[in-house]
Chains A and B, each alone.
Chain A
Amino acid sequence: MPAPIRLRELIRTIRTARTQAEEREMIQKECAAIRSSFREEDNTYRCRNVAKLLYMHMLGYPAHFGQLECLKLIASQKFTDKRIGYLGAMLLLDERQDVHLLMTNCIKNDLNHSTQYVQGLALCTLGCMGSSEMCRDLAGEVEKLLKTSNSYLRKKAALCAVHVIRKVPELMEMFLPATKNLLNEKNHGVLHTSVVLLTEMCERSPDMLAHFRKLVPQLVRILKNLIMSGYSPEHDVSGISDPFLQVRILRLLRILGRNDDDSSEAMNDILAQVATNTETSKNVGNAILYETVLTIMDIKSESGLRVLAINILGRFLLNNDKNIRYVALTSLLKTVQTDHNAVQRHRSTIVDCLKDLDVSIKRRAMELSFALVNGNNVRGMMKELLYFLDSCEPEFKADCASGIFLASEKYAPSKRWHIDTIMRVLTMAGSYVRDDAVPSLIQLITNSVEMHTYTVQRLYKAILGDYSQQPLVQVASWCIGEYGDLLVSGQCEEEPPIQVTEDEVLDILESILISNMSASVTRGYTLTAIMKLSTRFTCNVNRVRKIVSVYSSSIDVELQQRAVEYNTLFKKYDHMRPALLERMPVMEKVTINGLTEIVQSNGETESAVLETKSPPSGLQPLSQANDLLDLLGGTDITPVIPTAPTSKPDSTGGELLDLLGDLNLTCSPVSAPVPQIAQPPFLLDGLPSQPLFSDIAAGIPSITAYNKNGLKIDFTFERSNTNPSVTVITIQASNSTELDMTDFVFQAAVPKTFQLQLLSPSSGVIPAFNSGTITQVIKVLNPQKQQLRMRIKLTYNHKGSAIQDLAEVSNFPPQSWQ
C-alpha cells in the first residue's frame, strides 16, 4: 500500500478541482484510501490520515468513520498524534455520540501527565465538548489543577471549570474553595479567567451572589489599578490597558450590584471615573464605555450617574461608526421607559438618525421616536415622522403608519390636526395601512361632529385625484355616503368651499365601482354609499336606482347580495328608505382590538358585514322588533354542538346589525331565529314574536330529565302538526344552590336513527336560588317513530371548580314520539 499523500498535496489537489463533481470524486477516492489504511492499523501514517479526514469534514463531507481512529491517536504517546487526535475528537464528536465516553479514561490519564502541554490539550478538549458524565468524573482533576502553580494550566483549568458548571450546576460548590485566592493573581490571564468563573457562578446561583458580594471592594481596586497604571505593553490594545479584563470586571460588578444598595454605592465612584477617563476615539474605548453604561443602568445607581450614562449614549449617536450608533439606539430603547426625560434631550439626534441610510438604524430610530412622542413635541415629531413615512422602505410603512395612528390618537392637540394627519398618512402610504385601521378611522370621524363638512370635502378632493389606495377610498366613500348633503351644500368654515354637484359625486363613486383597481371590499363600501345618497340627494334617485340594479347580477356574491336588497328597498319598501338610511349616530369609543372580536363571536353565517353599528339605543328608531338581523334570513339552525354563549362583549355593546337587512326582506319561510348575544330584552322580544312553529300541539306532559347537585333540568315538549316526526324539546335549567353556575354547556346525543338539532341557549349562567333559568331548544327528528332516548352531558363551573356530568334520559312520555 503506497504511502498516503501528505496533507498539503491533498489540499492542493482538492483546490484545483473545477467542478463540484470533480471534487467529490477526488474526495471519495481519498476516503477509500484512508479507510483501507485504517483497516490495516498503520500507526505511522495514521495522524496524517486523520488530518486529511478533518479537512474533508470541514468541507462538509461525512467523516464519522474516523472517530475511533481519533481515540487511538489520543492514546498514543507522541505529541503530534495526541494533538490531532484531540482536535479530531473536538470536531467530530459531540455529546450525542457514544464514543466520547471512551475518551474519559484517556483524558484522565492525560490530565495527570507530566508535560503541561499535554495536560493543556486534555483540558481543552474537556472544556469544549465534555458531556455531563465526563464532567462529573473529571471535575476533581480539574479542581486540583486549579491550584497548581503553573499559570498556563490555571487559566485553562478555570475555563474548564466554567464549562463544567454550565453542564452540571451541582458541582459548583466543589470549586468554591479554589476561587478564594483567584482574585489575588498578578497574572492578567489568570485574573481574566477567574473573573469569568466568578461571573458564571454568580449568574447561576443567588447564594454565590451573596457570598461574592464581599469581593466588590477588591474588584474595584483591581479596576482602579488597571486604569491608573501606566502603559503595559503586554495587555495593551491601542493605548488602553487590557480592555477585556476591564469589560469583564464591569460585567461582574453589574451582576453583583443588581438589586443591592451597598455594592452599588461602592461602585459609583469607580464607574464615574471609568466613564470620564476613557477616551472615545477608538472602538476599544467605546466598548468599555458601553459596558459601563449597561452596568450603570442595571445597578441601583444615583440619578446623576444615570444622566451621565445617557449622555454617553447620546455621544455615541453622533459617532460616525454605524455599529456604535446601532448599539446606542438599542440601549436607549431599553432605557426609555425608566429615564424618559433624560432621553428626551437627545430627541433631535434620534430624529436625525431617521435619515440614515442603514436600514436597521432607521428601524431602531423609528421605534425610539414613537416611544418618545408626548404631548409637547407631538407636532414637531409628527412632521418628521410623516416625512420619514414618505421616504422609507415599504416594509416599514405599515409599522410606521400604525405607529402614527396610535400616537396621534393619544396626543392630538386638536381634532382638525388629527384629521389632517390621518389624511396625509392615507394619501402617502394608503395601500400599506392595516385593514383594522379603516373602521377605527371611520369611528373617529363620526365622533368629531363639527368636522364633518371639512373632512368630507378634503376626502372628496383626495379621491378626485386618484383612487388606487384602497383604505383611502373606503374611508372616503363611506364619508361621502354619510355626509353627501353637506358636501353638496357647499358650506365650510375652515376651508374655501368647493362647488360640487350631485352628479359629480355620483360620477366619482360610479367610476370607483367600475375601476379595476378597486378591491371587492371597496366596492361594497361604495355601493352602500351610493345607496345612502339616494335619500340625501334629492334629484338623482333614478340614477342611483339604475346603478344599483346593474349590480344585482354581478359575479361577486357580496355585491350582488347588496344590490338585490337595495333594489327591493326601492321597490317594496320605499317608505322605509329614509328611515333606514338615516345618518349614523355617534359611536362609542372603541379600542382598536375590540372590533375584530365582534365579528367572530356572533357565530352566524352571514357574510362579513364591514361597518360597525351603533349600540342598541340607536336601533329603536331604525327597525321594528327585528333585532335578529340576517342578510339572508334563511340561515340554517346552528349545528348539533351548540355554541357556548359568549360573554357579552363589553367594549362596544354593538351587535353586528345591518342597517338595511332584516327578515322581512327575504321571502323564505320564517325559520327559527338565530339567537344572538345581545342583552336579554332582545332575545325575549325575538322569541315570542317569531314562534317556532305556526301550530303547536299542547298537552304533552313535561319531565324532569336531570336533577343532581342542585341543578335541575326540565324538558317540555311540543309536537308540530306540519311535520309529525319532529319533536321540539325546550329545556330549562335551574339552580337551587347558593352560588351561580357559570359557563353552562348542554350537549346531547341520540341513537343513530334520530337526528338532533340544538339551538343556542339563552345564556351561560344559571343564577342561584332558582332565580332564573337557562332555556335551550332541541329539535329531534324521529322518522321511524322509535322510543326516544337521549344521553346528555353537562359541563359547568360551580363553586370555583369545573364539573362535568353524563346522564341518560329515558323517561320520555309516549306522546312525545309516537
Chain B
Amino acid sequence: FRNFKIIYRRYAGLYFCICVDVTDNNLAYLEAIHNFVEVLNEYFHNVCELDLVFNFYKVYTVVDEMFLAGEIRETSQTKVLKQLLMLQSLE
C-alpha cells in the first residue's frame, strides 16, 4: 500500500487502523491497538461508538498521551489514566 502497510483490528463495528512502515513488526502494533482500545474503555467507562464521536477531542488527547511523533510513547495503562483524570480536572 504505497510504501507503508496498514495494520487493523476489528472491534464490533469499528475498525482501528494503524499505518506503519514495511519494516515494522506487525504483531507488536496489533498489541498497541489493543492497548489503546483498553485505555479508551477505561476512560469512557465501556466506550461505544457514540462516545468516540461526541468526545472526539478527548480521544485526541488520549492519542497524544499514548503515541507521539509516530512512535509509542506510554504503554502503562494506569499512568495514562492518571494523566487523563488530571487533565480533565483542569477543564
Which A residues are within 8 Å of any B CB, using their own CB? 7-8, 11, 15, 51, 54-55, 58, 79-80, 83-84, 87, 90, 117, 123-124, 127-128, 152, 155-156, 159-160, 162-163, 166, 188-189, 192-193, 196, 233-235, 237, 242-245, 247, 251, 283-284, 286-287, 290-291, 294, 323-324, 327
Contact at A192–B72, with CB atoms within 8 Å?
Answer: yes
Contact at B75–A188, with CB atoms within 8 Å?
Answer: yes
Chain B residue numbers with a CB within 8 Å of A8 are 54
Q: Which residue of B lies closest to A193 (CB)?
A: B73
Which B residues are within 8 Å of any A CB, using their own CB? 25-28, 30-32, 35, 53-54, 56-57, 60-61, 64, 68-79, 83, 86-87, 90-91
Contact at A235–B71, with CB atoms within 8 Å?
Answer: no
Contact at A244–B32, with CB atoms within 8 Å?
Answer: yes
| Docked complex Cα distance between A124 and B60 (Å) | 11
Between A and B, how many residue pairs show CB distances below 8 Å?
A: 107
Contact at B27–A286, with CB atoms within 8 Å?
Answer: yes
Chain A residue numbers with a CB within 8 Å of B57 are 51, 54, 83-84, 87
Contact at B60–A283, with CB atoms within 8 Å?
Answer: no
Q: How far is the CB of B17 from chain A (nearest CB, A)?
A: 15
Contact at A287–B53, with CB atoms within 8 Å?
Answer: no
| Docked complex Cα distance between A15 and B52 (Å) | 14
Known contacts A79-B90, A124-B68, A189-B79; A323 and B26 CB within 8 A of each other:
yes
Known contacts A58-B56, A159-B73; A283 and B78 CB within 8 A of each other:
no
Q: Which residue of A lies closest to B26 (CB)?
A: A327
Chain A residue numbers with a CB within 8 Å of B35 are 237
Contact at B68–A287, with CB atoms within 8 Å?
Answer: no
| Docked complex Cα distance between A432 and B63 (Å) | 49
Q: How far is the CB of A119 from chain B (nearest CB, A)?
A: 13
Q: Which residue of B lies closest to A151 (CB)?
A: B79
Contact at A128–B28, with CB atoms within 8 Å?
Answer: no
| Docked complex Cα distance between A156 and B61 (Å) | 13
Contact at A11–B90, with CB atoms within 8 Å?
Answer: no
Known contacts A283-B31, A287-B30; A192 and B75 CB within 8 A of each other:
yes
Q: How far is the CB of A560 from chain B (nearest CB, A)?
A: 50
Known contacts A84-B57, A283-B30, A291-B25; A156 and B72 CB within 8 A of each other:
no
Chain B residue numbers with a CB within 8 Å of A327 are 26-27
| Docked complex Cα distance between A649 and B26 (Å) | 48
Q: How far is the CB of A9 from chain B (nearest CB, A)?
A: 11
Q: Which residue of A lies closest to B71 (CB)?
A: A196
Contact at A162–B31, with CB atoms within 8 Å?
Answer: no
Contact at B71–A193, with CB atoms within 8 Å?
Answer: yes
Q: How far is the CB of B53 from chain A (nearest CB, A)?
A: 6
Known contacts A54-B57, A283-B31; A245 and B75 CB within 8 A of each other:
yes
Q: How far is the CB of B85 from chain A (nearest CB, A)?
A: 12
Contact at B76–A235, with CB atoms within 8 Å?
Answer: yes
Contact of B69 among A83, A163, A189 (CB under 8 A): A163
| Docked complex Cα distance between A251 and B60 (Å) | 28
13 new A-B contacts at CB < 8 Å, known A155-B73, A188-B75: A8-B54, A54-B57, A156-B73, A159-B73, A162-B71, A234-B78, A235-B76, A245-B75, A251-B25, A283-B27, A283-B30, A287-B27, A290-B28
Contact at A323–B30, with CB atoms within 8 Å?
Answer: yes
Known contacts A189-B74, A244-B75, A287-B31; A159 and B91 CB within 8 A of each other:
no
Shortest Cβ-Cβ A-B pairs, 10 listed: A287-B27, A163-B69, A159-B68, A127-B69, A234-B76, A159-B69, A287-B28, A244-B75, A247-B28, A124-B64
Q: Which residue of B lies closest to A157 (CB)?
A: B68
| Docked complex Cα distance between A261 and B75 (Å) | 33
Chain A residue numbers with a CB within 8 Å of B26 are 290, 323, 327
Contact of A242 among B68, B75, B86 (CB under 8 A): B75
| Docked complex Cα distance between A83 and B31 (Å) | 29
| Docked complex Cα distance between A669 and B68 (Å) | 81
| Docked complex Cα distance between A166 and B69 (Å) | 10
| Docked complex Cα distance between A58 and B60 (Å) | 12
Known contacts A117-B86, A127-B69; A87 and B60 CB within 8 A of each other:
yes
